[in-house]
Chains A and B, each alone.
Chain A
Amino acid sequence: MNLPDPLLPVACEVISRHQNSADVFTVELQPPPHFGAFRAGQFNMLYLPGAGESAISISGDPADRDKLVHTIRAVGNITELLMDGQKGDSIGLRGPFGRGWPIEEAYGKDLLILAGGIGLAPLRPVLYQAVAQADRFRSINLLVGARSPMELLYVDQLMNWKKQDQLRLQVTVDSAAANWRGDVGVITELIPKCRFDPERALAMICGPEIMIRFSVSRLLDQGMSAQAIHVSLERNMQCATGFCGHCQLGPHFLCKDGPVFSYPQVEPYLLTREF
């Protein structure tokens, strides 16, 4: 069961806070009493009295009902104030909102997950679910791009999943010092190196929009159909219930109809300036 009034924030206690990198941090919240299950890819509105609200993807395990995890990048007033928060603080929360990733559509297929920068956060719930039922997929492939090795998220957890052969992991960074032994280059360069059957694959992409566009282009080059590619988009979300129109993209309200879309649904708008 979800919160009774989707427009009314409910106070949640911060049960832990962890700094992932210089400007990225993870907060774990005590779920409100009425908070039910969430779907991988959904988001919550986090509210700080006197500051405002910000839409933040849920980045934890959907099976874990004891905490709500959000990995956040400090890029504005609210998120910067959230970064200053401590264990025991109270944060207002509304949610969960939006349409999540179509995990069930990937059963029996090669699952390709492409994450750029903080875009890994909304995809981590997919990884939790996919790894927990790995035998339902032909393969689970995670391609990660980041600016530098210091900015990679969830490194220990990803390496652990990789070591246990639960997923195929490829990581690349835009630049690195000489002691970095991994890939250097953009995430699109990883796609041709990934082993998958383009006719039996489903891709999920989250990251900067230009990264999404070029990744889609590479996946189409590899023979994937556009319908099998799903993307998560980001816009200015305010009400999160499809009333205010701040997050409108063509005929879609990202907060209600998204943030996850199949690529053909949003392609015309991604290629149009000012949208």
Chain B
Amino acid sequence: MKDIATELKEHPFFADLPDPTINLLGGCGHNEVYKPETLLASEGAEANEFFIIRRGRVAIQLHAAATGLARIQTLDAGDILGWSWLFPPYRWSVEARALQEVHTVKLDGRCLRQKCDADPALGYALMKRFSRIMTQRLEATRLQLLNLYGKANEPA
């Protein structure tokens, strides 16, 4: 089995980071497996971690009084889950549920926050990468809001 640093090195999210940085990040991570229907994150719970999904599918969901549970997005192998660990108040804003058996590398956000605070270059490198993901997800959300496949003048 590959060690965590090797897993990270092979992932495009961490591309171009120097080996010492990868090793440092690897020290904050471990493998974790979730059975189908178990929660990786609950809305409102403390967010002190993020995940690299190695295998399986995760549903990102929100509860709304009017519509019940709304599935907003699904994430698959290779995707990154979670950025709430980066910003106060460090709480999950969505629910993340395993739809299949999900294999992850789980990274300790608290440990990473300390390392980023101590090393701004590391913090900037990670922030750039998370900003890219956030930008892509924002763009996708905008498209979803447009109700692309609906009829003209039809509410989303």
Question: Contact flags (1/0) for B133-156 with A, using CB distance below 8 Å?
Answer: 000100110011011111110000
Q: Is A185 at the interface (CB under 8 A from chain B)? A: yes
Within 8 A of B (CB), among A91-124: 116-118
Q: Is A176 at the interface (CB under 8 A from chain B)? A: yes
Question: Contact flags (1/0) for A178-216 with B, using CB distance below 8 Å?
Answer: 101111111011000100000000000001101100100
Q: Is A69 at the interface (CB under 8 A from chain B)? A: no
Q: Is A146 at the interface (CB under 8 A from chain B)? A: yes
Q: Tally chain B residues at the interface, Cβ within 8 Å.
A: 25
CA distance A23 to B151 in the complex (A): 10
What is the chain B residue whose CB lies nearest that of A211?
B148
Q: Is the CB of A184 within 8 A of B140?
A: no
If A174-B149, A181-B99 touch, whether A214 touches B70 (CB-CB below 8 Å) is: no
What is the chain A residue whose CB lies nearest that of B78?
A193
CB distance from A118 to the nearest CB of B (A): 8
CA distance A140 to B149 in the complex (A): 24
Question: Contact flags (1/0) for B106-135 with A, using CB distance below 8 Å?
Answer: 000000000000000000000000000000
Partner of A116, one of B69, B72, B76, B148: B148
Q: Max chain A CB contacts within 10 Å: which of B57, B74, B78, B149?
A: B149
Could you say which residues of chain A place their CB within 8 Å of the CB of B60? 184
Q: Is the CB of B140 within 8 A of A186?
A: yes
Q: Is B71 at the interface (CB under 8 A from chain A)? A: yes
CB distance from B74 to the nearest CB of A (A): 5
Q: Is A13 at the interface (CB under 8 A from chain B)? A: no
CA distance A147 to B155 in the complex (A): 13
Q: Is the CB of B69 within 8 A of A210?
A: no
Question: Contact flags (1/0) for B61-72 with A, using CB distance below 8 Å?
Answer: 100000001111
Partner of A184, one of B71, B147, B152: B71
Question: What is the interface of chain B mostly: helix, strand, loop, or mixed?
Answer: mixed
If A175-B71, A211-B143 touch, whether A145 touches B148 (CB-CB below 8 Å) is: yes
Could you say which residues of chain B place their CB within 8 Å of the CB of A189? 73, 136, 140
Could you say which residues of chain A place their CB within 8 Å of the CB of B72? 175, 184
CA distance A178 to B97 in the complex (A): 11
Q: Is A234 at the interface (CB under 8 A from chain B)? A: no
Q: Is B94 at the interface (CB under 8 A from chain A)? A: no
If A145-B148, A210-B146 touch, whether A175 touches B139 (CB-CB below 8 Å) is: no
If A186-B144, A214-B143 touch, whether A147 touches B150 (CB-CB below 8 Å) is: yes
Could you say which residues of chain A place their CB within 8 Å of the CB of B150? 147
CA distance A72 to B95 in the complex (A): 38
Within 8 A of A (CB), among B4-40: none
What is the chain A residue whose CB lies nearest that of B149?
A117
Question: Contact flags (1/0) for A207-234 with B, using CB distance below 8 Å?
Answer: 1101100100000000000000000000
Within 8 A of A (CB), among B63-95: 69-74, 76, 78
Q: Is the CB of A180 within 8 A of B71?
A: yes
Could you say which residues of chain A place their CB within 8 Å of the CB of B74? 172, 182-185
CB distance from B70 to the nearest CB of A (A): 7
CA distance A210 to B152 in the complex (A): 13
CA distance A77 to B72 in the complex (A): 34
Q: Is B59 at the interface (CB under 8 A from chain A)? A: yes
Q: Is the CB of B71 within 8 A of A176?
A: yes
A175-B70, A176-B71, A186-B144 given; name 14 further pairs at CB < 8 Å: A145-B149, A146-B149, A147-B147, A175-B72, A178-B61, A181-B57, A183-B57, A184-B59, A186-B143, A188-B139, A189-B140, A193-B76, A208-B149, A214-B139
Chain B residues engaging chain A, CB cutoff 8 angstroms: 57, 59-61, 69-74, 76, 78, 99, 136, 139-140, 143-144, 146-152
Chain A residues engaging chain B, CB cutoff 8 angstroms: 23, 75, 116-118, 145-147, 151, 172, 174-178, 180-186, 188-189, 193, 207-208, 210-211, 214
Question: Which 7 A-B pairs give the minimum distances between C-beta atoms?
Answer: A117-B149, A147-B149, A186-B143, A186-B140, A185-B73, A184-B74, A208-B148
